[in-house]
Amino acid sequence: MGPPGGGRSVITARVQRHFNVLTYTDLAHESISKIFTTILTAFYYNFSQEIKDAVAPLVAMTLRVYDQVLNGPLKPTPNKSHYTFNLRDISRVAQGLCVADRRHCYEPVHAARLWVHENKRVFGDRLRDDPDRAWLDKVLAGEACETLALAKDEVYNAERLVFADYMDGIDVE
């Protein structure tokens, strides 16, 4: 249950009296940033200094993308009711960034590729039509290139961006 909108309707007081109403305030942007910066800083402790310096920008980029996904053209509609995103999605991106191996991720461009890959996995896999996917690709490319001062060709160095360093040692036939 939630506030009216996106297919939900108003709950009458007569029905609502049978339930306990729990509410919470949303976390401040600074709090979310501090939480995920701390998590990623702890994970990237043994990585190169360039990667350590990229942690704060990666978190900031993730939060900006999340805000654009929430407030942009991807709002839930009856046709796209599964376009509901929350703080758990930011957590999934951060969790995906924690699969990096320092032997293969030693430059900011490697972290940017992993970041784009994880955002496409978390947000992009739920999108159902090409205009929405194109919008997300444009947002991700813009964030990665502007924030980390990289060229788009550096980040998107192949037709399909797949980051599978965590599969080292696994035989794929």
> What would the DSSP string read from start to end of 69-105?
HHHSTT---STTTT----HHHHHHHHHHHTT--TTT-
* Predicted confidence (pLDDT) at residue 82 exceeds the cutoff of 80: no
The angle subtended at Cα 140 by Cα 77 and Cα 135, nearest 5°, is 40
Instruction: Report pLDDT digits (tens) over 122-134.
Output: 999 999 889 999 9
CATH 2.70.170.10, applies to 28-167: no
Instruction: Report pLDDT digits (tens) over 147-157.
Output: 888 888 888 87
What would the mean pLDDT of 47-72 be, rounded to a whole number?
93
Instruction: Report pLDDT digits (tens) over 85-121.
Output: 889 999 999 999 999 988 888 889 999 999 999 999 9
pTM to 2 decimal places: 0.79
* Mutual angle of helices 29-43 and 55-71, in 10-degree steps: 140
**Token pair for 162:** 């797949």
Query: Domain coordinates of the chain in residue numbers?
Result: 28-167
Long-range contacts from 49-54, C-beta under 8 angstroms, 24+ separation: 50/106, 50/107, 50/108, 51/102, 51/105, 51/106, 51/107, 51/108, 51/110, 51/111, 53/108, 54/108, 54/111, 54/112, 54/148
Beta strands in the chain (DSSP E): none
